[in-house]
Structure 1
Amino acid sequence: MGLQFGKLICIDFAIQFIGWIISAKFRTEKYFDLTGNKLYIEFMYLNIVYSGSLTFILLTYLSRNSTRQTLRQKIQSSCIFIWALRLGAFLFYRILKAGKDSRFDRMRNSPSKLFTAWMLQGLWVIITLLPTLYLNRKHVDKPLTKTDYIGWSMWLFGFLFEVIADKQKMTFKNNLNNKENFISTGLWKYSRHPNYFGEICSWLGLYISSSHMLVGYEKFIGILSPIFVTCLLSFVSGIPILERQAMKLFGTNPAYHTYRNRTPILIPFINFPRI
């Protein structure tokens, strides 16, 4: 059997704590003063990004049965590996192109805010992985069912939706003619945050694919994964920040207000009251 939950949680937060120490320490070194702000931002951002992606991969790997994995467990774990590797590669490319992530502007000079970011990432990793961690503990092997295929199909749909949305926005921003414009084409025509919609679908799919193998309290704890991702992106670190930034950049542009009023904030074709 893979490592017990307690050990996985300790490994998760130990990685985040070490990452925080490195980020905070590097910020105070003379090397920072010599090389300038841009290098530190890139270092801090990549440090957080890669520790997150690698922690997803590491915990999933450690949770596996050491003797024998079922086909279901292999597919489920592979979905995590693919998602984490893609995310790490994409964010690495994005920071190299942009040179910074504005979400980190206010925290780079504050060790306490950095600490909060690292610990939030630790929570994100362990809670998001809950269904897969529970699944990987199982020794019972059952034939694949419709639930497995429905869940994995939803994961694939969400994964591709997120990849396409990220690619469309990156292509748009790389065009110098769009420097002062906002994207409203492709998937962004149907949602103001289609990449987040795709990510939520992915984690909901992985919960569905594992749900019929979970028993008792595992079902109720496992569903925290898609709920947590949805709440995190909708109310904490994702949509609210980007919506404020967009209003700051395009708030005087009537075309942006038209786009904002007609385009759903998250779920395509479903326009909830404006946030």
Structure 2
Amino acid sequence: MQSTDEMNINMGNSVSTLLLRSGLWDVGIQWAGFAVAAALKTEKFYDLAGSGTFLFLAIQTLRWGNTFYFRQKVQTGMVATWAVRLGLFLFTRVLQAGGDSRFDKVKHNPKTFFVYWTIQALWVWLTLLPTMILNSEKRDKPLGLRDYAGWGLWTAGFLLEAVADYQKTVFKADPDNAGKFISTGLWSISRHPNYLGEILLWAGLYLSSSSVMSGYQHLSVISPIFVYLLLTRISGVPILERQGMKRYGKDPAYLDYVKNTALLLPGFW
């Protein structure tokens, strides 16, 4: 009969093995995607590859863990739902636009393009970390407040992101709005409601998965922190704010919008 320490060691080894296996698949998929994208000099399936990797690893870690607890299935389903919606949305958008301006120079520079694909691998792995840990756990606990609060936060974030994306898509599709900026719907209370939704939903998934975590596993809180920093300090918000000021900076209405509309979280920031 195994002692408690031996059981903890075995479970720790199981988690580590699954995380390593996931990391290898993640990097392999992104580097294979880079090879094809670099050869074709296209960025059109970059976002689709990223969201597809989320979908693949969420399902595979559930299968590799082979416990299929209710909490694990709900969490995996939430990741899969998010990945399918966002992946198809971004892929459709880039096809309609004919490209992604972020990659205008990058896709012709293999070394820099490779860095972008490698960073995507890091984004996938770190963001999905709580879910991968949850799916590798052999222990189960009764559902509690953290589960319901986390799922509620994910639902709010998912709806916020999906509705914001839909509103902006409809706005841009209207010829009368050509050359204008969106300031209606959710965009009237936040300049980046879609990114707010993204941050909230990953925070919710960490919160629900943390209900079965112990010790070093709680370090996976880096997932929502990383998403927050990525969107507010590196990509996302900083880039769009610069583009907005460059495009509409001489428009008094836009300056008034920036002054009176929260950057991210209504009522706070």
Q: TM-score, normalised by structure 1?
A: 0.89
Task: Name the aligned partner's letter for residue 23 of structure 2.
Answer: I
User: Separation in 2 of the partners of 1:130 and 1:185?
Assistant: 35
- Whichever structure has more helix as a proportion of its residues is 2
Task: Name the aligned partner's letter for residue 32 of structure 2.
Answer: I
Q: State the match for 1:261 in structure 2.
A: 259
Q: Is the 8 A contact 1:83 1:159 kept in 2?
A: yes
User: Separation in 2 of the partners of 1:104 and 1:242?
Assistant: 15
Q: Kindly, what percent of the aligned residue pairs are identical?
A: 45
| Residue 134 to residue 51, structure 1, CA distance change in 2 (3 Å) | same
Is the counterpart of residue 168 in structure 1 residue 167 in structure 2? yes
User: Separation in 2 of the partners of 1:97 and 1:78?
Assistant: 28
User: Separation in 2 of the partners of 1:268 and 1:165?
Assistant: 14
Is the counterpart of residue 15 in structure 1 residue 24 in structure 2? no
User: Separation in 2 of the partners of 1:166 and 1:256?
Assistant: 20
Which runs of structure 2 are paired with 1:155-234 in the superposition (5 Å)?
155-220=154-219, 222-234=220-232
User: Separation in 2 of the partners of 1:224 and 1:18?
Assistant: 27
Q: State the match for 1:33 in structure 2.
A: none
Q: State the match for 1:88 in structure 2.
A: 87
Task: Name the aligned partner's letter for residue 259 of structure 1.
Answer: Y
Which runs of structure 2 are paired with 1:115-194 in the superposition (5 Å)?
115-194=114-193
- Give CA-to-partner distance per residue, 1:63-106, whole Å, 9 cap, x none: 12554310000000000000000011111221232222222223
Is the counterpart of residue 237 in structure 1 residue 251 in structure 2? no
User: Separation in 2 of the partners of 1:114 and 1:151?
Assistant: 36
Q: Is the 8 A contact 2:167 2:185 kept in 1?
A: yes
Task: Name the aligned partner's letter for residue 21 of structure 2.
Answer: K
User: Separation in 2 of the partners of 1:76 and 1:205?
Assistant: 10
Q: TM-score, normalised by structure 2?
A: 0.91
Q: Is the 8 A contact 1:12 1:126 kept in 2?
A: yes
SS state at 2:106 partner: coil
Q: Is the 8 A contact 2:44 2:95 kept in 1?
A: no
CA drift of 1:228 comes to 0.3
User: Separation in 2 of the partners of 1:62 and 1:228?
Assistant: 23
Moved segments of 4+, more than 4 Å: none
Task: Name the aligned partner's letter for residue 162 of structure 1.
Answer: E
Q: State the match for 2:3 in structure 1.
A: none
Which ranges in structure 1 are unaligned for 5 or more consecutive residues? 28-39
Is the counterpart of residue 106 in structure 1 residue 108 in structure 2? no
Over the aligned positions, Cα root-mean-square deviation in angstroms equals 1.4
User: Separation in 1 of the partners of 2:188 and 2:268?
Assistant: 13
Task: Name the aligned partner's letter for residue 128 of structure 1.
Answer: T
Q: Is the 8 A contact 2:82 2:158 kept in 1?
A: yes
Q: Is the 8 A contact 1:65 1:137 kept in 2?
A: no
SS state at 2:108 partner: coil
Q: Is the 8 A contact 2:140 2:212 kept in 1?
A: no
User: Separation in 2 of the partners of 1:172 and 1:100?
Assistant: 19
User: Separation in 2 of the partners of 1:226 and 1:269?
Assistant: 21
Task: Name the aligned partner's letter for residue 236 of structure 1.
Answer: I
User: Separation in 2 of the partners of 1:49 and 1:193?
Assistant: 19
User: Separation in 1 of the partners of 2:178 and 2:268?
Assistant: 29
- Give CA-to-partner distance per residue, 1:2-58, whole Å, 9 cap, x none: 86211211111111111111111123xxxxxxxxxxxx4xxx222x11211111011
